[in-house]
Amino acid sequence: MTRLRQRFIQDMQLRGLAPTTQRSYIHYVFQFAKFYNLSPEHLDLEAVRQYQLYLLNDRKLSPESVNCCTSAIQFLYQKTLEMPWGSACFPRVKRPERLPVVLSRQEVEQFFHYVTGLKNRAVLMTCYGAGMRISEAVALRVSDIDSPRSLIRVEQGKGQKDRYVMLSPRLLGVLRTYWRAAQAQKLLPEDEAQNPHRWLFPSWRHGHLTSSAVDQACRDASEKCGLHKRITPHTLRHSFATHLLEQGTDIRVIQVLLGHSRIDTTARYTAVSPQVIASAISPLDTMGARRRP
């Protein structure tokens, strides 16, 4: 490992970047250096600019991927190499604004009918029933389930923030059924049987179930269920938020449940809910209403 790479990793650790972000940044910076066959400390802003154009025009990468690469390179130069280059020196590619894919309640029920595996079904129902990210759901521990208060504790979710989400009676029933079946089938490690902090969804190897394993189960069910929509675990989270909004739940409550830092991130669900749009009253209908005797 080079000294620069080691310092780069240490800087990311000191600033609390998530392990997945660290791996992504290391990959992008390595590809950047490999492209020029030079250490990044010997490259300048023009090299960064040309590499961005290469990714966009030659590699045909998405704006999201190009911007992620730019963030990694920016971190390297600003934090590790301590270059006096401001954020304006690292322009971002404008991303097209797309509405999230949302399933109706009937489509959600149809989708779950095709999910195979008791553990996969329990994890995906947690994503929909509590609006959790897949990375948060697979990392749950038994002690995070607070059934007396009907809450689930999410420890160190995105942005390294703790929060509570709802635990509905039906989801609690699903988790209890899964847990009893897992114990009966001896799917849980014997040495962890009495540990209250054990993983709720353990892997058969070590640690907890991986997000990629659940993603694959989700793709399989999506292909079989006959719905012409791309369904991912995050689609279930989008559907959770939209259905809450249609039920009249305050958008600030939804913001807290989803763990959004900004309200405008949550507000985009109003654009995908036809019920909310249809129930809005046009100002034309209220014009002149106060003048009537």
pLDDT in tens, 136-191: 999 999 999 999 999 999 987 777 788 999 999 999 999 999 988 887 776 555 55
Higher pLDDT, 96 or 49: 49
What pLDDT score was predicted for residue 51?
97
pLDDT at residue 47, rounded to an integer: 96
Architecture of the domain delimited by 105-278: Orthogonal Bundle (1.10)
**Long-range contacts from 115-121, C-beta under 8 angstroms, 24+ separation:** 115/217, 115/218, 115/221, 116/217, 116/220, 116/221, 117/217, 118/178, 118/181, 118/182, 119/178, 119/182, 119/187, 119/201, 119/209, 120/213, 120/214, 120/217, 120/218, 121/174, 121/178
The 10s digit of each residue's pLDDT in 104-129 is: 999 999 999 999 989 999 999 999 99
- Known catalytic membership, residue 260: yes
| pLDDT at site 222 | 93
| Catalytic-role residue among 5, 7, 260, 268 | 260
* Known active-site residue 3: no
> What pLDDT score does 250 carry?
87
Q: Could you count the other beta carbons within 10 Å of the beta carbon of residue 43?
A: 18
Contact 204, 191 (CB under 8 A): no
Q: Is position 234 annotated as part of the catalytic site?
A: yes
pTM, to two decimals: 0.73
Q: Which of 158, 198, 208, 268 is catalytic?
A: 158
Q: Active-site residue among 121, 133, 163, 238?
A: 133
Residue of 29 and 280 predicted with greater confidence? 29
pLDDT of residue 245: 87
Residue 188 is predicted with a pLDDT of 57
pLDDT > 70 in the chain, percent = 88
What does the pLDDT look like over 54-102, one tens digit per residue?
A: 999 999 999 999 999 999 999 999 999 999 999 999 999 998 877 788 8
CATH homologous superfamily of 3-89 equals Tyrosine recombinase, N-terminal domain (1.10.150.130)
Q: Which of 28, 77, 128, 269 is catalytic?
A: 269
Q: What is the pLDDT of residue 99?
A: 78
Q: Name the active-site residue from 121, 237, 238, 243.
A: 237
Amino acid found at 110: Q
Q: What are the extents of the domains in the chain?
A: 3-89, 105-278
Range 227-237 average pLDDT: 91
- Give the residue with greater pLDDT, 234 vs 276: 234
Instruction: Give strand ranges (E) for the chain.
Output: 145-146, 151-157, 161-166
Residue 18: its pLDDT value, please? 83
Could you tell me if 110 and 221 are in contact, meaning their C-beta atoms sit under 8 angstroms apart?
A: no
Q: Residue 259: pLDDT band by 50, 70, 90 thresholds?
A: confident
Per-residue pLDDT at 194? 56
Highest mean pLDDT among 186-200, 221-235, 257-271, 272-286: 221-235
Q: Give the model's pLDDT for residue 191.
A: 53
pLDDT exceeds cutoff 60 at 132 = yes
Which candidate in 141, 198, 234, 268 is catalytic? 234
| Of 189-193, 200-204, 230-234, minimum mean pLDDT range | 189-193
158 is annotated as an active-site residue: yes
Give the helix/strand (H/E) hosting 33. Answer: helix 19-36
Question: Mean of the pLDDT values across residues 182-204?
Answer: 69
